[in-house]
Amino acid sequence: METKNNLEKDTNISQNPSLKDDYQPKITIDDAIKIYKRGKIEVVALRGLNCTFNQGEITVIMGPSGCGKTTLLNIIGGLDRPNSGNIIVDGENICHLSDNELEKYRRNKIGFVFQFLNLIPELTAEENILLPLELSGTLSKERRDFIKELLDIVGLEDRKVHRPDELSGGEQQRISVAAALANNPDIVLCDEPTGELDTQSKNVVLSLLRSIIERFPNKSIIIVSHDPDLKQIADKMYYIRDGVISHHFSKKELEELKNKSSDQNGFAPQDQNRAQEIALLELRELSHIINEKIKKIDKNLHAQ
């Protein structure tokens, strides 16, 4: 695992000339471990995860359900803390912040977009967008102008007086994106943002996210999803499995993937080999566990 992570850092630099020695990624996740406790049971959600995120880029993190995607977003967003490791944002280790400082970090730097359209039903689209700002008490004329621009970018200026139940799923998600951007955060974190949408609405949200990064290249957008179509808007893509980065797609691999039609697992035929290798490993792990169990049962039977 160590070798793989080092290798990933090296490939990253050699494939992107802008990543010189003195280049600092916007965010660096260094050996993050997160363990949840459910009573006596421990669930290891992140097991020494390393990755980086750059300004002006959309990074997509794909992986199956339960592999640690939401956990990773939560610790980047300051909603949760890792048990160990470093989360460096703009050169500062946010793990060292106090609870108050972490809340301030979250308020000023982070925008969240969730899978489940989390707009407040009683408020209009515009009020939903303004809500986080009113809570943080930073509503200036510039902000109002910025909101207007946001509504324009999401293409819903004429829908601003509508309540969520008068909007389609896709329109609601576009409003959620505008709400996440309302306090002009540096980092936009999207957790399965297209999970609830039909194909057409999904495509609109994807091109919206793409146009946001083009319009605001000072931002970093991080999207976690198990939806392979997200690769279409990615500048950088990781695959996460069992709480570690199992693959960092090189620029070339990513371009190739974008040009191929995806099928099972979201991988094009050539990449099926990798998917099959993973499946085989899983099968081996499983058969090892089963064999151990059979041995135990055998032993118990003989002991009786």
Ligand X SMILES: Nc1ncnc2c1ncn2[C@@H]1O[C@H](COP(=O)(O)OP(=O)(O)O)[C@@H](O)[C@H]1O
List residues binding Mg ion (CB under 5 A): 69-70
Task: Candidates 58, 67, 209, 230: give the one binding ligand X (CB under 6 A).
Answer: 67
Give residue for tokens 């198990």. Answer: 226
Three-class SS state of 186: coil
Q: How many helices (H) and strands (E) does the chain have?
A: 9, 10
Half-sphere exposure for 245 (CA within 13 Å, toward CB): 25
**E strand spans, 20-170:** 27-38, 41-53, 58-62, 84-89, 92-93, 110-113
* 70 near ligand X, judged by CB under 6 A: yes
Buried-exposed string 35-50: b where 16+ CB fall within 10 A, e elsewhere: eeeeeeeeeebbebbb
Nearer to Mg ion, 175 or 189 (CB): 189
Going by the DSSP 8-state scheme, the letter that residue 250 receives in this structure is -
Amino acid found at 225: S
Q: Encoding tokens for residue 295? A: 């041995």
* 106 near ligand X, judged by CB under 6 A: no
* Residue 176 site contact among ligand X, Mg ion, none (CB < 5 to 8 Å, cut-off depends on kind): none
Task: Candidates 68, 85, 111, 193: give the one binding ligand X (CB under 6 A).
Answer: 68
Task: Candidates 59, 71, 124, 225: give the one binding ligand X (CB under 6 A).
Answer: 71
Q: Do 202 and 193 contact (CB within 8 A), yes or no?
A: no
Nearer to Mg ion, 25 or 82 (CB): 82
Nearer to Mg ion, 192 or 235 (CB): 192
Shortest distance (Å) from residue 192 CB to ligand X: 8
Site for ligand X in 165-224 (CB under 6 A): none
Site for ligand X in 3-62 (CB under 6 A): 36, 38, 43, 45
For 79, 111, 112, 128, 192, the CA distances from 132, given in Å and listed in that order, are 16, 10, 11, 8, 21
Give residue for tokens 């982070």. Answer: 110
Shortest distance (Å) from residue 238 CB to ligand X: 12
Nearer to ligand X, 65 or 98 (CB): 65
Nearer to ligand X, 113 or 154 (CB): 113
Nearer to ligand X, 147 or 234 (CB): 234
Shortest distance (Å) from residue 70 CB to Mg ion: 3
**Which residues lie near ligand X (CB under 6 A)?**
36, 38, 43, 45, 63, 65-71
